[in-house]
Structure 1
Amino acid sequence: MTDFQRAPTIFSWAIAEELAVAHMKSIGFSDARRSSAGPDGGIDVRSSNAVAQVKSRANPVGSSDVQRLRGSAHGIEHALFYSRSGYSIHALRFADESGVSLFRYDEMNRVVGVNEAGIRLCGNTWDSYFEAEAEAEAEAEAEAEAEAEAEAELFSEPIEDRTFSPITGNRVFSEEQLHRLGGFMVGKSVCGPFGFIEDPAQMRRDVLELKLLACVEANGELLLPGYQFGTCYAYLPHMREVLMNLDPQMNDGWGDALWLASNPSWLSKGRSIHEAMRLGVQVDVILTRASERYSNRLRQDGVVGA
């Protein structure tokens, strides 16, 4: 889509002329402008080396209109005609013989060349428009498919081996449950003192790039721990290092969410976080172990006071 195209519009002759001006500028007639009001020999748009006439009526343009344009353009290098409804056979024949460039436009503000001279100037035909639109749609579908495959690959690793698995994947959390989890946020909404995420699409990209830890709820929303973020959602320092050291034996390549601590009674019996979660701890997940280690590391760095 070129820069002179806009959303579908109810056409008037004035809008059609403005479209012709924009199109002429886009194909090299940089000084194109609408003619001043009043009789002007059928000329609607002028530039230093081209003139154009614009018709927005429902009937095809006849040869007499094209002949008048050719006469008015005597001594001018280019004569262009813009029609909303096409041209008669006689108009096409005369335009080819006299070198008038014919164009047709529609309600979508698409402008295409109709005869050889018009196509040579703008390079567009209806077929080329449809081909370009089909290519754009195919590219968009391919990008969406690639993104979906990337997400599927990221989240399709053995979910049973992820600490997150007992609390996600087959359920959707209520706001109350998320508040009980403490400092979690899901999708576009945030639980805790974080406000609202302004760009959820960027958040998903950051998850795919392993900048954020997250897991997917049954409805496809992302569940993220809120303490990964500082003010204005800046990612906090040393988060990856802390996560990697919480439970080295059960750590997978992604760093997994091994910062999740279950009820301390599970840990007091010597079970790992991973084992405790697999044995049924569902909603009552706390962040004690992770938050303590994280706070200690920040204190060592002098990021927060002792």
Structure 2
Amino acid sequence: MSAINELRHLKGGSGQTTKRDGKAALVFLAPWFIGLFAITAGPMLASLYLSFTKYNLLQPPVFTGLDNFTRMFTDERLHKSLGVTFTYVLVSVPLQLALALALAVLLDRGVRGLSFYRSIYYLPSLIGGSVAIAVLWRTVFGTDGLFNVVLGWFGIEGKGWISDPDTALWTLILLNVWTFGAPMVIFLAGLRQIPGSYYEAASVDGASKWRQFWSITVPLLSPIIFFNLVLQIIHSFQSFTQAFVVSGGTGGPADSTLVFSLYLYQRGFGAFDMGYAASLAWLLVIIIGAFTAINFWASKYWVFYDD
């Protein structure tokens, strides 16, 4: 009988311990839940409501139904910004990842002072999105900028690359490609996980370095490539600071640098058309979600997993 009572006592103590652990977990998770609902979910729901209203920040919002979304079909500047953004993303992201992978493969060969080079190459990712770098970029590609000075050494006449509608966007693309450090470090970590025995076996079979790269490196690194691709596409669609600073907030010249986020900012905080800006924000969510879904769907055809 005493053994049964002792067993009941142990079960009761275990239950009390579980309850105390659960309460402690909730206490530690509380800041995250507060941030989720107060900083993320709450504003998202508010913006979803505002997307169906006419709101100028000064007067209460007025419900207008789908007017903001139907307005998008006739908004020529929106169409222009979408074209600029798609060009920016579809050109800069592949170039950025190709450069990052090439440098990662080079560093993976055992370069002396690897930690130093890794830090130097990662630095652009830290400062590339800053206002200071955007101002510097605007100066470098200006009429009297360093880029034209270098071209002058070879007898090539320069121009205002930022002020020319045909080249302004390409300077922003170059800036985004320059911030290759973060994907490069991730690629380098992935390369270190590929067993060297694969390359040794391929060398014995007479495979060239180029063949080894496409038949061993790329397939085994495909999950890392996929991860970087999704991450950089999302980041590029959200690009704002560079276009804002380089164009002076106008998206010029001739809307050639009017990326989607900049146009959203102009509608919301320039024209005080916050209802329409909220609908544009949700359009951007849909676009990013669509690109991400397409990438996940396509990944089954080219991403290789060990299992």
Q: TM-score, normalised by structure 1?
A: 0.23
Q: Which structure has more RCO (C-alpha within 8 Å, separation ≥ 6)?
A: 2
The structure that is helix-richer by fraction is 2
The structure that is strand-richer by fraction is 1
Q: Which has the larger radius of gyration?
A: 1
Q: TM-score, normalised by structure 2?
A: 0.23
